[in-house]
Amino acid sequence: MVRQLIDTFGRVHRDLRISVTDRCNFRCTYCMPAEGLQWLDREDLLTFEEITRTARLLVERYGVESIRLTGGEPTIRANLPGLVQMLSELPVDLSMTTNGATLRRMAPGLAAAGLTRINVSLDSLRADRFAEMTLRDDLDRVLDGIDAALEAGLDPVKVNVVVMRGVNDDELVDFARFGRDRSVEVRFIEFMPLDADRAWSDDAVVGLEEIVARIGETFPLEPVPRTSAPASRFRYVDGGGRIGVVASVTRSFCDSCDRIRLTADGRFRNCLFAVDEFDLQSLLRSGASDDEVGELLEGAVRAKWAGHGIGQVEFIRPARSMSQIGG
């Protein structure tokens, strides 16, 4: 019998994010510092078997319906298609977030292994700005990777854009046009206080209303009814597709959040902004039963706060950056 992973505020958790590595081949400034991070040793990473055991328990006992693989950059984890194949045996929607640089080589194998859809992180369409933001001159590879994902039959292919005032907010319409031309949904993400350099400020946030208004001046938009997904969605009035806006800062969706997270080193998190983590790795490696693992998972979810508190006096930043937690 399936139980519900439910917190004290009545939220049922059905969406699992799994980070498979803390490493990345890019150095996006809002995610990790250019240098100075201590990478996890190989033995500190959850094995594919440990990941699959945890995922199976969450799916079969607790009714998790979707799994997204993240990082770091998940495609640099060795034999990633092997993990995808193991997870694809579970009755879930299986997706991944990637920077796209390796998709020309990897997309066919990932699709064949059972990956169904993909999100590609891309924060500028201008080669010089892309290189400045990622410290890599790989824009053409990422654009080609998006094409490769489409060709491999991954559906949908979405593009994630972290919007930062004074950095890339002048490309909002360019990205909208890009999505319309490529038949991909662009998701604009408000800049969140998870940057490794701790340079985030409220002034750098471009909010949902401004994003929609600026795009709508060129391509009129109308809202789409909200679901449990984090993005508020809008469709072009002329039928040219849709965009999404993840308004984590200006319109928190904490009251309907159904996400739980597993870090690459086996820490279970009930929120992206949680200050507490639960050591699942040690439990798994101690020979714990599924019931014992389940007790940890249930307790962690019960400890979830009502909201992340961004913009409030009591807000506490997580100790770890986005790359260490998992996007």
Residue 96, SS3 per DSSP: strand
| Cβ–Cβ < 8 Å for 266, 300 | no
Rg (CA), the chain: 19
In the predicted structure, residue 320 carries a pLDDT above the cut 80: no
Both tokens of 262, joined, read 């597993």
Q: If you average pLDDT over every residue of the chain, what do you get?
A: 92
Rounded Cα gap, residues 99 and 77, in angstroms: 13
pLDDT value for 314: 62
Q: What is the mean pLDDT of residues 129-136?
A: 94
Residue 37 burial (10 A CB sphere; 0-12, 13-18, 19+): middle
Give residue 33's pLDDT band: very low, low, confident or very high (50, 70, 90): low
The pLDDT tens digits of the residues spanning 295-307 come to 999 999 999 999 8
Q: What is the pTM of this model?
A: 0.94
Task: Read off the pLDDT band of 196 (50, 70, 90).
Answer: low
Going by pLDDT thresholds of 50, 70 and 90, the confidence category of residue 203 is confident
Residue 266 exposure: Cα atoms within 13 Å on the Cβ side: 23
The per-residue pLDDT for 312 is 63
Q: DSSP string of 33-57? A: -SS---PPPGGGSPPHHHHHHHHHH
Tens of pLDDT, residues 258-293: 999 999 999 999 998 888 999 999 999 999 999 999
State yes or no: pLDDT of 31 exceeds 80.
no
Element (H, E) at 161: strand 157-163
> Tens digit of pLDDT for each residue in 42-89?
999 999 999 999 999 999 999 999 999 999 999 999 999 999 999 999
CB 11 within 8 A of CB 256: yes
Indicate the pLDDT class of residue 230, thresholds 50, 70 and 90: confident
Q: How many helices (H) and strands (E) does the chain have?
A: 10, 12
Mean pLDDT of 6-16: 97
Q: Which amino acid is at 268?
A: F
Residues 6+ apart with CB under 8 A from 228: 256, 258
Q: Which of 74, 120, 116, 68 is nearest to 99 (CA)?
A: 120
12 bridge partner residues: 6
Answer yes or no: are the C-beta atoms of 196 and 31 closer than 8 Å: yes
**pLDDT at 117 > cutoff 90:** yes
- Tokens coding 106: 């990897």
User: pLDDT higher for 186 or 250?
Assistant: 186
List the domain boundaries for the chain. Answer: 15-325
CATH number of 15-325: 3.20.20.70
Q: Measure the CA–CA gap between 268 and 297, rounded to whole angstroms.
A: 8
Sheet containing 278-279: give its strands across: 221-223, 232-236, 242-246, 185-190, 157-163, 117-121, 93-98, 66-70, 15-19, 259-262, 267-269, 278-279
Q: What is the distance, to the nearest Å, from the Cα of residue 213 to the centroid of all Cα atoms in its chain?
A: 25
Report the percent of the chain where pLDDT is more than 70.
Answer: 92
